[in-house]
Amino acid sequence: MISLIAQVADKVITILIFAIVIRTILSYFPKYQSHKFSAVLTDVTDPLLKPFKRFQIGSAAGAIDFSPIVAIIVLNLIQSVIVSQFF
């Protein structure tokens, strides 16, 4: 039973990582930010990215946001702990 939960958690983390990557790519295309798919990605990934929003370099107008990178690293660390503990 615990192995099944670990497998589900592993898959969910993988999906969240892909969602963050897709959201990051779509952020370069303002035309697609008004679509429902983009709104769903924002709703799913915002709780993951908000704690890491303070990792920005530059001024407010030209800041580089490192929150997706930091969030992906943290999710990968969590995923590796889950995999090493239960597989």
pLDDT for residue 81:
93
Average pLDDT over residues 2-25: 94
**SS3 category, 10:** helix
Q: What is the pTM of this model?
A: 0.86
pLDDT at 62 over 80: no
pLDDT for residue 60:
65
Give the residue among 76, 82, 87 at the shortest CA–CA distance from 17.
76
Q: Between these two residues, 87 and 32, which has the higher pLDDT value?
A: 32
pLDDT at 29 over 70: yes
DSSP-assigned beta bridge partners for residue 35: none
